[in-house]
């Protein structure tokens, strides 16, 4: 089985300016994901797709192949899957699986990537998504009131019995033919790769950035 890793990293960011190249614990944020992918040693090729010259330059310095992403696929309304598909279609070589790693999950390390790939090889699933276990009771608003969506009021679960999982955004692995067919990173038979809370922070705000940086400085 062959695996290509695609790291999508656009230049614009509303919540954190230049997020993907902002220094975190001594190196650009994107470098943490690039180095994790390289250390995994179970990936055949790694590509960074971006419209940003600085991101592409940093990637090349780390000996990573790059794809120039069109501006039309680089605004905040474009879905990441569209950028990944453009990247994969631009690459001349074909692979069995596409490994999607987002730079906003720097606590995900090479061991997680290797374990996830071994899991999808063993199970022969079509897709894999990394998840974190959540002990939460979900509600939704309906008109003026709210109602539960993850449990029944008269069958309130104990926290130890909760079996809810949330995508943590760290690792996605998809058969390339599924990705091309569905134009979506998920489809077919999907398996979960469970990660611990401490590795599952997805950077979405400056507060997240500062928390993760403190953790990385201690590693």
Catalytic positions are 156
For tokens 């596409």, name the residue.
98
The CA-atom distances, in angstroms, between 173 and each of 6, 10, 64, 185 are 10, 20, 19, 8
| Cα atoms found within 13 Å of the Cα of residue 129, Cβ hemisphere only | 15
Which residues sit opposite 60 in a β-bridge?
none
Which residues sit opposite 66 in a β-bridge?
48
Alpha-carbon distance of 199 to 100, in angstroms, equals 17
Which residues sit opposite 8 in a β-bridge?
49
29-40 helix and 53-61 helix, angle to the nearest 10 degrees? 40
Alpha-carbon distance of 134 to 116, in angstroms, equals 20
Residue among 162, 96, 169, 102 at smallest CA distance from 129: 169
């Amino acid at each position: 089985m062959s695996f290509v890793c695609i790291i999508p990293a656009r230049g614009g960011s509303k919540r954190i300016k230049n997020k993907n190249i902002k220094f975190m614990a001594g190196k650009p944020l994107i470098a943490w994901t690039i180095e994790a992918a390289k250390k995994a040693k179970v990936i055949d090729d790694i590509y960074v797709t971006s419209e940003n010259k600085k991101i592409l330059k940093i990637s090349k310095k780390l000996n990573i192949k790059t794809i120039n992403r069109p501006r039309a696929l680089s605004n905040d309304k474009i879905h990441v899957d569209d950028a990944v598909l453009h990247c994969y279609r631009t690459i001349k070589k074909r692979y069995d699986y596409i490994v999607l790693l987002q730079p906003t999950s720097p606590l995900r390390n090479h061991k997680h990537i290797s374990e996830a790939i071994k899991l999808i090889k063993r199970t022969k699933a079509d897709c894999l998504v990394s998840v974190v276990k959540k002990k939460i009771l979900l509600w939704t608003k309906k008109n003026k009131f709210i109602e539960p969506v993850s449990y029944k009021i008269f069958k309130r679960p104990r926290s130890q019995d909760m079996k809810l999982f949330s995508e943590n955004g760290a690792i996605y692995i998809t058969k390339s033919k599924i990705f091309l067919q569905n134009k979506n990173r998920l489809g077919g038979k999907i398996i979960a790769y469970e990660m611990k809370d401490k590795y599952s922070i997805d950077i979405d705000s400056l507060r997240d950035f500062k928390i993760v940086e403190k953790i990385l400085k201690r590693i």
